[in-house]
Every structure is written in C-alpha cells, then in structure tokens.
Amino acid sequence: MLFTRKDFPEGFDFGVATSSYQIEGSRFGGAGRCQWDDFAATPGNTKNAENGSIAVDHYHRYESDLDLVAAGNFDCYRFSTSWARVMPDGFTVNPEGLDFYDRLTDAMLARGIKPCATLYHWELPVPILDRGGWRNRDIADWFAEYTHAIMSRIGDRMFSVAPINEPWCVAWLSHFLGYHAPGLKDIRATARAMHHVLLAHGRAIQTMRDLGMTNLGAVFNFEWADPADHSPEAAEKAALYDGIYNRWFLGGVFRGEYPANVLEGLGPHMPDRWQDDFPTITTPVDWCGLNYYTRKLIGPDGGAWPGLKEVEGPLEKTLMGWEIYPEGLYNFLTRTAREYTGTLPLIVTENGLASPDVIENGTVDDPQRSAYIEKHLQSVRRAIAEGIPVKGYYLWSLMDNYEWACGYEQRFGLVHVDFDTLERTPKASYHQLAQNLRR
Ligand code: IFM
C-alpha cells in the first residue's frame, strides 16, 4: 500500500468494523435467541447450517481483540450492540448484556480507541419476530425502548452512534429476496419493512437526542448499478435497482420522499398514511455512513415487478463473486454529497473483501485485499480532492467471522481466525496498515 496517514486530512479517522452476532457468540452472557439462530437452524438457509452461537468468542476475548485494534493504529472501532443480548425477550433488560457493552466500551477508551456503535446489525429477538418483526409498525417504538436502555448505559462514552446497519439488507434482502433472516419472499412484508426500518431509525435518533447525545448518523449499504447493455430496457432496470438499493434510503432520510420508480411496485403494499412518518424519518443526523463493496450489471428478466436480473460482469472478482469496482465508491461519495447530504460529513463505514486466506509458516498473505484497499482509498482521496467532506474510512472487518448465509467460508478479516482453535493471526494487510497508519 502506497498511502500513509499523512495523505489524508488532519483528523481523518481510520477504523475497523465488526458486528455482534458475527463475532461475540450468541450463546454467552444470557442473550436471547435472535432471528439468525432460528434461520440457521432451518435446513438450506446457511452454509453447513452454521450459526453465530460461538462465532469467534469475542464475548470472552474482547480485550485481546481490542489490543489488535490498537496495535493496528486504528482510531475507531465500529461495533454493534445486540438487541437480543440487551433484551432477550425483546422488552426486558438483561443486566449481563448491559454489563458486557459497558466493559467493552471502557476497554476501548482505555486503549485510546473511539467507540462507534451500531444499535442493530440484524440481531432481532425472536419474540419481536413473533409479533411480526419489521412488518409491524410498533417495532419503531420497541426499537426506541431498546435504544434508550442501551444508550442510557453507554451513550455517555460513545464517539458516534448509528441506529441501523444497512436498511436494504434488513428490508429487501430479508423480506423480498429471502437470503437473510427471516427469509421471506413477500412483497407486502417488504414494503412494510422498507418503511418501518426507516421509521425505527428516526425514532432511535430522537431517543438519543433526548438523552443529549451527539454525533449520530445513518449507515447505508450501496451498490452501483450499471445497465448490462445499451438498451433502454437495461437502463430502466438499472435505474430501478438503484432506486430500490440506494435512493429509497437516501431519499427517505434526507429528502422525505421515496423514488417514484420503486413506489410503482411497492406503493399498493405500503402501510396506511406512510407519508405522515417523514417528519420522524428525516430527523436530522450528524453524518452519513456508506458501506461499499461492489457494483452490479442489471438487465430486464421479463418477469413480474421489479423484473430485473443481475448479469455477470467482466471485472476481477472477490471470493464472494463481487466485481472490484473502486470507481463506484467515488461515484457514491460524490453523488451522495451533491444530491442528498451537502456539507454533512460522510464516512466510509465498511469496505473490504473476502479472499481464500490460509496460514503458511505462521503468516497469511492477502495481496488482493491490500490492492483492494489501496484502490478504494484512491477513490476516497479523489473525492476529498473535489471538496467532498469524507471524514473517515473503516474496514470490514477486524477479523474473520460469521458471514451470515455463507457461514464461515468467506474470510473478510484483516486478522485470520482459525475457526477450530479461535487463534487470531494478523494477515499481511493488517501489518501494512499498522505500518502506514503510524502517528
Ligand atoms: O459481513 C457483512 C456485514 O455484516 C454487513 N456488510 C457487508 C459485510 C460483508 O458481506
């Protein structure tokens, strides 16, 4: 990697990101069952029926894991708190859960690491799912109660907080495509989830404002959509993919409107008087987080709405089969600022790749990851040079972990984890970053 910390503006933060279910071990500390425990117990949903019951046992190893964050010279640690750990039945506080996040917070501060919390990275308590989960409008109030419970305890020490990681995954991936828990393929459930997830976001921001908290943001995952060919049909479907994936969430939070091309399909299934919720959904935030990995080539499939399909692209791919397209990050940073957020700080809250990393003679070479990071940081620098207020860049992920439906096959970490012994071994990319980020 060619860049160093000095190539970025003063105060630019580098970080690493994780999430609770992917690393902690859901069986520890009195956590309740979450939707992923049940989803994984259903044949065919996750690779080898793997789950996050033990994950990488961060619950017991958090001190040494945070040592790795500090030794990597990262400024920020983006972690998530689990609703099912804090409130196992969705409503009643588990003191052990609060105590864990309290210890974790203090352990970050003791190492000079800025705690950047996410309140929901998909650990929906099963009793909330039984009440309809994201289909039920009441979830916004229940989520606000959970927000109050956890942030009353640790909110005084957070550097930043975002309510919901990747609303597209919460809503579309999980209720329309069915790839993630709860695994529905139901357009009515999808329309409601697409709206309620943003309503819950707004309620959580209001709750934290009432607690006097600052530096609150929203985190979206974006995929750049290019037409698969030069036909008007492909252009139309790429625009629809962009609407569903990207513009729905940016439009909702920053403009108080949803894209017309998406409402063509979802409109008939939306909850009553959904327009009345925009004053809550647009509650001002202090920054916007972008999770970016890849682009998709999109064309028509001739089927029912949305009637689109992904077409394999020609670019180099990661182990996930995702094309490496750093221009997409530049495109999103510039477009988000120019069309939606203006001077609001932008943070790249996730970026990274999975690669088939193996330990040989005690070391792990991951040149594809180093090259990927280098190219995406060039995109960040290009955007900054054009005046876009990008204030941070966080890598997914600190260490190999549970990659949801892909189980433990896809290794996104800067640190290799032996999933049998749980031994951590920093990869070559980690060592390069530690060197380049020295202060
Ligand atoms: O592992 C996930 C993470 O939970 C959310 N963003 C994308 C990552 C890689 O797929």
pLDDT in tens, 96-150: 999 999 999 999 999 999 999 999 999 999 999 999 999 999 999 999 999 999 9
Distance 17 CA to ligand 1 centre (A): 10
Ligand 1 pocket residue status of 65, Cβ below 6 Å: no
Predicted confidence (pLDDT) per residue in 42-58, tens digit: 999 999 999 999 999 99
How would you classify the pairing of strands 217-227 and 114-120? unpaired
Query: DSSP assignment, residue 32?
Result: P
Query: What domain range is 277 assigned to?
Result: 5-436
Q: What is the mean pLDDT of residues 247-275?
A: 98
Q: Domain containing 31 — which CATH number?
A: 3.20.20.80
Query: DSSP assignment, residue 231?
Result: S
Mean pLDDT (the chain) is: 98
- DSSP for 295-319 reads EEEEEE-SSSTT-EEEE--SS-B-T
Nearest 10 degrees: Cα torsion 84, 89, 92, 94: -50
Angle between helices 187-210 and 248-255 (to 10 degrees): 40
In DSSP terms, 415 is beta-bridged to 399, 426
The catalytic residue among 24, 50, 166, 403 is: 166
In DSSP terms, 395 is beta-bridged to 16
Question: What is the model's pLDDT at position 242?
Answer: 99
Question: What is the model's pLDDT at position 2?
Answer: 87
Ligand 1 pocket residue status of 283, Cβ below 6 Å: no
Question: What is the amino acid identity at position 391?
Answer: K
Question: What is the amino acid identity at position 79?
Answer: F
Active site residue 350: yes
Question: What is the model's pLDDT at position 290?
Answer: 99
Structural domains of the chain, count: 1
- pLDDT of 232 over the 90 cut: yes
What distance in Å separates the CA atoms of residue 65 and residue 394, rounded to the nearest whole number?
A: 16
Q: What is the mean pLDDT of residues 197-224?
A: 99
Omega before 367 within 30 of 0, i.e. cis: no
pTM for the complete prediction?
Answer: 0.98
Distance 404 CA to ligand 1 centre (A): 8
What distance in Å separates the CA atoms of residue 25 and residue 338, rounded to the nearest whole number?
A: 41
Question: What is the model's pLDDT at position 57?
Answer: 99
Ligand 1 pocket residue status of 166, Cβ below 6 Å: yes
Predicted confidence (pLDDT) per residue in 337-346, tens digit: 999 999 999 9
Q: Whose CA is nearest to atom 1 of ligand 1?
A: 403
pLDDT-derived band at 197, boundaries 50, 70, 90: very high
Longest dimension (CA), the chain: 62
pLDDT-derived band at 78, boundaries 50, 70, 90: very high
Predicted confidence (pLDDT) per residue in 335-391, tens digit: 999 999 999 999 999 999 999 999 999 999 999 999 999 999 999 999 999 999 999
**Is-contact 172 179, C-beta < 8 A?**
no
> What is each CA distance from 234 to 82, 242, 297, 308, in whole angstroms?
40, 12, 9, 8
Ligand 1 pocket residue status of 176, Cβ below 6 Å: no
Ligand 1 pocket residue status of 223, Cβ below 6 Å: no
Instruction: Give the helix/strand (H/E) hosting 206.
Output: helix 187-210
- pLDDT of 1 over the 90 cut: no
- CA 237 to chain CA centroid, Å, is 25
3-state secondary structure of 272: coil
Which atom from ligand 1 is nearest to the alpha carbon of 121? 4
Query: Which residue stretches of 24-173 are H helix?
Result: 35-40, 58-71, 83-86, 95-110, 126-130, 139-154, 167-168
Ligand 1 pocket residue status of 118, Cβ below 6 Å: no
**Is-contact 398 16, C-beta < 8 A?**
yes
Closest CA to 368 of 399, 322, 299: 322
Query: DSSP assignment, residue 243?
Result: I
Distance 403 CA to ligand 1 centre (A): 7
* Phi (first) and psi of residue 16, to 5 degrees: -125, 150
